[in-house]
């Protein structure tokens, strides 16, 4: 295999479509091959559309319409966002690998539907292979784990909590089911002891570990005929009864209504979590944000305090969501320490919860921790390869800790550089998927097609019809860029090097009279910063100024193509309480209390996600770091002048005291 350094030039179409010929050859190959397939499929059928038919007027005018409308679409599409360019330093949107684009194109000619094997005999298998590859990368045992491709991180996160909720509530359903079936079962408790199921109170039943709950599931199915177990479980499970009836029954049986179960998330968690708790009926009030530290990582001490406080009040914890690669900063939580908190809660408090890592963004960075021979690289080895201080030993430990989570979201359509839609959901113990399984009669695989569980994906997942082309895209990309130091590991390292180079250049940049205040060096590749000017001395004027810079450097202003594209966010209280102090101190425009009291105003922070693997490429590659800094200066000058004009029109001065 060629060295990744050389291979990188062949992985992408290129910022100037330098690999256009290669791309065209591969597209043609895929198309021709598909044409042969059609031609050889029952050739005795003859031709439906004959050459003579193509001479007809109606045909020609239909072709003219098609061609003209396509030209119109192509013209429109050029108003899209140039993710391929080093000038794009905005969201986590990226160029795609040639492999994924060709894989997608080739497969979409066949239009496979990965809901079931009968609609996707090839791509369902590819999807399961991809899931096993991702599982291996995060350290799961591919034999025990299971996963699939989803439309994105939101749906993968949804499934995580959907399944977690079913596992957490299973022991309660099992009590009723076991009584109905007349069987007695026992279950392991978090402290390692065992107890007869029927003797446990509500609190204990809600604090059974993931593994013990799934063992209980197995024991129940072994204890009676399947049809009886299915009926008994349905009679007592939340999924069948719904929250209202479920709570009523619990109140009747246990003398106390079920306290609302909570979900703990890092304060930096993606907004999908709020959607999910609302959609699942858990309720947004039950979403508890755990403060982050000055590196935007979940604070394990704060997590412990929250777990203890909730336990004191008898509030169940359904799940804890740690983030690997936050949306705004690419921060990687100290997952090893989060796991320690859970182990301590189990030991000292008899409390447990489902642990999910939302690695939608950062999961692919785990590729950097693997050698080609399947052994782990040390932090020092990776540092040698990046030539930077990245990663730390702690970062590597956090990545290795993914192996001990109960589930993980990891999105190929983010750091995997493949086309949308391709998220992925992985669970450590494949038995959990059975808790949400539904079997429609028209989609059950027939004998000889393989096991029903594996080949009818729709049985275990939230979505129904889904593109097999997405699976083919990820599969081919993984073939060309393996999930280790030779492929994705190298790619991620390159973007980290780019982000670090940008961070260092911004730190050194002389932008006087402007000053740049940087967030710490990122855990992966998102660089955050705030620009200021001596005349700005209120939070509002500082925010208006940075918002002005963003407007000048964002895509979508009619008729304008910005020199460089960035994005921005707002750090608000209480989410960023633990992180914002150093920024506010350096900016010196307001106190922490004023920032907290500002409500929705928050602090505007500019962001640049470095997805560009060529940012640190030597000439003749363009210097998109110096170019960016100059563009930032021009945008700042322009934004300040405009702010001055606006305020002057209102008879005010720019926060000049
Ligand atoms: C950490 C994290 N989780 C989940 C998501 C949601 O992913 P998607 O947009 O693919 O649904 C994102 C998207 O940015 C994310 O950054």
pLDDT tens digits along 295-312:
999 999 999 999 999 999
pLDDT tens digits along 27-47:
999 999 999 999 999 999 999
Give the least confident one: 286-300, 356-370, 444-458. Answer: 444-458
Cα 628 to the center of its chain, rounded Å: 28
Ligand 1 atom at minimal distance to the Cα of residue 323: 1
| Tokens found for residue 55 | 């001479």
Mutate to test the pocket of ligand 1, among 152, 157, 159, 270 (most ligand atoms within 8 A of CB): 270
> What's the confidence (pLDDT) of residue 573?
93
> What's the confidence (pLDDT) of residue 5?
78
Ligand 1 atom at minimal distance to the Cα of residue 326: 1
Mutate to test the pocket of ligand 1, among 322, 326, 327 (most ligand atoms within 8 A of CB): 327
Q: How confident is the model at residue 258 (pLDDT cuts 50, 70, 90)?
A: low
Residue closest via CA to ligand 1's atom 14 equals 327
Mutate to test the pocket of ligand 1, among 329, 361, 363, 424 (most ligand atoms within 8 A of CB): 361
pLDDT tens digits along 454-487:
678 999 999 999 999 999 999 999 999 999 999 9
Alpha carbon distance 273, 279 (integer Å): 10
Q: ω into residue 598 within 30 of 0, thus cis?
A: no
529 Cα: distance to centroid of ligand 1 (angstroms) = 22
Q: Which contiguous run of DSSP H or E holds residue 130? A: helix 123-137
Q: Other C-beta atoms within 10 Å of 378: how many? A: 12
Ligand 1 atom at minimal distance to the Cα of residue 155: 11
370 Cα: distance to centroid of ligand 1 (angstroms) = 24
> What's the confidence (pLDDT) of residue 651?
76
pLDDT tens digits along 343-354:
999 999 999 999
613 Cα: distance to centroid of ligand 1 (angstroms) = 21
pLDDT tens digits along 191-215:
889 999 999 999 999 999 999 999 9
> What's the confidence (pLDDT) of residue 646?
86
Residue 512 has pLDDT above 90, yes or no: yes
Strands 194-196 and 526-532: unpaired
The arithmetic mean of pLDDT across residues 395-401, rounded, is: 98
For 355, residues 6+ apart whose C-beta sits below 8 A from its C-beta are 319, 320, 322, 338, 339, 342, 404, 405, 406
> What's the confidence (pLDDT) of residue 558?
63
Ligand 1 atom at minimal distance to the Cα of residue 411: 10
3-state secondary structure 8-76: HHHHECCCCCCCHHHHHHHHHHHHHHHHHHHHHCCHHHCCCCCCHHHHCHHHHHHHHHHHHHHHHHHHH
> What's the confidence (pLDDT) of residue 456?
86
Residue 65 has pLDDT above 80, yes or no: yes
The arithmetic mean of pLDDT across residues 266-285, rounded, is: 97
Dihedral sign of CA atoms 418, 97, 365, 522 in order? negative
> What's the confidence (pLDDT) of residue 455?
75
153 Cα: distance to centroid of ligand 1 (angstroms) = 5
Q: How confident is the model at residue 6 (pLDDT cuts 50, 70, 90)?
A: confident
Residue 656 has pLDDT above 70, yes or no: no
Residue 452 has pLDDT above 70, yes or no: no
The larger pLDDT score, comparing residue 448 to residue 61, is at 61
Mean pLDDT score of the chain: 94
The arithmetic mean of pLDDT across residues 8-34, rounded, is: 97
Whole-number Cα distances in Å, 485 to 244, 329, 369, 371, 499: 51, 24, 7, 6, 19
Ligand 1 atom at minimal distance to the Cα of residue 91: 14
Closest Cα to residue 130, out of 110, 155, 100, 94? 100
Ligand 1 atom at minimal distance to the Cα of residue 92: 14
Residue closest via CA to ligand 1's atom 16 equals 327
23 Cα: distance to centroid of ligand 1 (angstroms) = 29
> What's the confidence (pLDDT) of residue 599?
82
The arithmetic mean of pLDDT across residues 642-648, rounded, is: 87
526 Cα: distance to centroid of ligand 1 (angstroms) = 14
> What's the confidence (pLDDT) of residue 1?
53
276 Cα: distance to centroid of ligand 1 (angstroms) = 12
Residue 406 has pLDDT above 90, yes or no: yes
Q: How confident is the model at residue 650 (pLDDT cuts 50, 70, 90)?
A: confident
Alpha carbon distance 43, 508 (integer Å): 69
**Ligand 1 site: residues with CB under 6 angstroms?**
92, 152-154, 157, 270, 272, 323, 327, 358, 360-361, 411, 423
Residue closest via CA to ligand 1's atom 6 equals 153
590 Cα: distance to centroid of ligand 1 (angstroms) = 32
Alpha carbon distance 256, 620 (integer Å): 72
157 Cα: distance to centroid of ligand 1 (angstroms) = 9
6 Cα: distance to centroid of ligand 1 (angstroms) = 31
Q: Other C-beta atoms within 10 Å of 446: how many? A: 8
Residue closest via CA to ligand 1's atom 7 equals 153
Alpha carbon distance 199, 191 (integer Å): 16
Residue closest via CA to ligand 1's atom 4 equals 153
Ligand 1 atom at minimal distance to the Cα of residue 359: 1
> What's the confidence (pLDDT) of residue 454?
65
> Cα–Cα–Cα angle for 202, 203, 207, nearest 5°?
115
Mutate to test the pocket of ligand 1, among 92, 151, 154, 407 (most ligand atoms within 8 A of CB): 154
> What's the confidence (pLDDT) of residue 301?
98
Alpha carbon distance 580, 603 (integer Å): 9
SS3 content of the chain, % helix, strand, coil (to 5): 50, 10, 40
> What's the confidence (pLDDT) of residue 560?
73
Q: How confident is the model at residue 153 (pLDDT cuts 50, 70, 90)?
A: very high
Ligand 1 atom at minimal distance to the Cα of residue 423: 10
Alpha carbon distance 236, 1 (integer Å): 56
Ligand 1 atom at minimal distance to the Cα of residue 325: 1
Instruction: Give the CA diameter of the chain.
Output: 86
Ligand 1 atom at minimal distance to the Cα of residue 156: 11
305 Cα: distance to centroid of ligand 1 (angstroms) = 28
> What's the confidence (pLDDT) of residue 449?
47
Ligand 1 atom at minimal distance to the Cα of residue 414: 10
What does residue 519 show for φ and ψ, rounded to 5 degrees?
A: -70, 165
Residue 247 has pLDDT above 80, yes or no: yes
Q: Other C-beta atoms within 10 Å of 152: how many? A: 21
| Tokens found for residue 424 | 């992925």
Q: How confident is the model at residue 632 (pLDDT cuts 50, 70, 90)?
A: very high
């Amino acid at each position: 295999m060629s060295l990744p350094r050389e291979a990188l030039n062949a992985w992408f179409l290129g910022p100037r479509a330098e690999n256009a010929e290669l791309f065209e050859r591969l597209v043609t190959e895929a198309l021709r091959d598909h044409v042969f397939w059609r031609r050889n499929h029952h050739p005795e059928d003859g031709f439906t559309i004959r050459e003579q038919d193509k001479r007809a007027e109606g045909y020609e005018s239909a072709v003219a319409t098609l061609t003209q409308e396509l030209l119109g679409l192509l013209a429109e599409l050029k108003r899209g966002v140039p993710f391929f360019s080093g000038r794009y330093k905005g969201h986590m949107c990226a160029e795609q690998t040639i492999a994924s684009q060709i894989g997608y194109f080739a497969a979409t000619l066949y239009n496979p539907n990965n809901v079931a094997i009968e609609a996707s005999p090839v791509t369902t298998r590819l999807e399961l292979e991809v899931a096993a590859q991702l599982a291996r990368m995060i350290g799961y045992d591919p034999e025990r784990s299971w996963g699939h491709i989803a439309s994105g991180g939101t749906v993968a996160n949804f499934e995580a909590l959907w399944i977690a909720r079913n596992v957490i509530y299973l022991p309660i359903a099992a009590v009723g089911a076991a009584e109905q079936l007349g069987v007695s079962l026992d279950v392991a408790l978090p402290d390692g002891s065992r107890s007869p199921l029927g003797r446990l109170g509500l609190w204990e039943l809600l604090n059974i570990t993931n593994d013990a709950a799934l063992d209980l599931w197995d024991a129940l199915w072994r204890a009676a005929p399947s049809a009886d177990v299915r009926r008994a479980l349905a009679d007592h499970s939340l999924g069948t009864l719904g929250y209202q009836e479920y709570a009523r029954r619990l109140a009747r049986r246990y003398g106390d209504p079920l306290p609302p179960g909570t979900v703990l998330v890092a304060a930096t968690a993606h907004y999908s979590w709020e959607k999910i708790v609302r959609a699942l009926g858990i309720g947004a009030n039950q979403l508890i944000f755990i403060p982050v530290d000055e590196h935007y990582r979940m604070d394990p001490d704060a997590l412990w305090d929250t777990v203890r406080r909730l336990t004191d009040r008898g509030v169940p914890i359904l799940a804890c969501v740690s983030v690997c690669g936050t949306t705004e900063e690419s921060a990687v939580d100290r997952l090893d320490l989060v796991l320690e908190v859970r182990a301590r809660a189990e030991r000292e408090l008899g409390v447990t919860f489902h642990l999910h890592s939302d690695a939608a963004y950062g999961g692919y960075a785990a590729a950097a921790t693997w050698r080609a021979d399947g052994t782990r690289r040390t932090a020092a080895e990776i540092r040698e390869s990046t030539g930077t201080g990245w990663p730390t030993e702690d970062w590597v430990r956090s990545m290795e800790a993914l192996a001990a989570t109960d589930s993980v979201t990891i999105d190929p359509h983010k750091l995997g550089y493949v086309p949308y839609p391709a998220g992925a959901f992985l669970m450590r113990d494949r038995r959990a998927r059975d808790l949400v399984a539904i079997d429609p009669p028209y989609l059950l695989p027939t004998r000889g097609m393989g096991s029903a569980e594996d080949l009818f994906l729709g049985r275990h997942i939230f979505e129904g019809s889904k593109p097999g082309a997405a699976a083919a895209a990820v599969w081919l990309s993984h073939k060309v860029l393996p999930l280790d130091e030779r492929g994705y590991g190298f790619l991620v390292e390159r973007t980290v090097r780019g982000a670090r180079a940008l961070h260092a250049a911004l730190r050194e940049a002389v932008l006087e009279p402007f000053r740049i205040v940087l967030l710490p060096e990122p855990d992966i590749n998102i660089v955050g910063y705030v620009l200021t000017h001596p005349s700005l001395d209120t939070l509002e004027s500082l925010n208006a100024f940075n918002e002005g810079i963003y407007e000048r450097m964002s895509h979508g202003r009619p008729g304008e193509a910005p020199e460089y594209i960035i994005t921005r966010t707002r750090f608000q209280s209480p989410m960023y309480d633990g992180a914002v102090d150093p920024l506010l101190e350096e900016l010196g425009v307001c106190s922490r209390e004023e920032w907290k009291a500002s409500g929705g105003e928050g602090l505007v922070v500019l962001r640049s996600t470095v997805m560009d693997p060529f940012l640190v490429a030597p000439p003749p590659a363009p210097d998109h770091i110096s170019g960016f800094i100059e563009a930032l200066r021009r945008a700042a000058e322009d934004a300040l002048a405009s702010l001055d004009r606006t305020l002057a029109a209102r008879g005010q001065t720019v926060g000049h005291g």
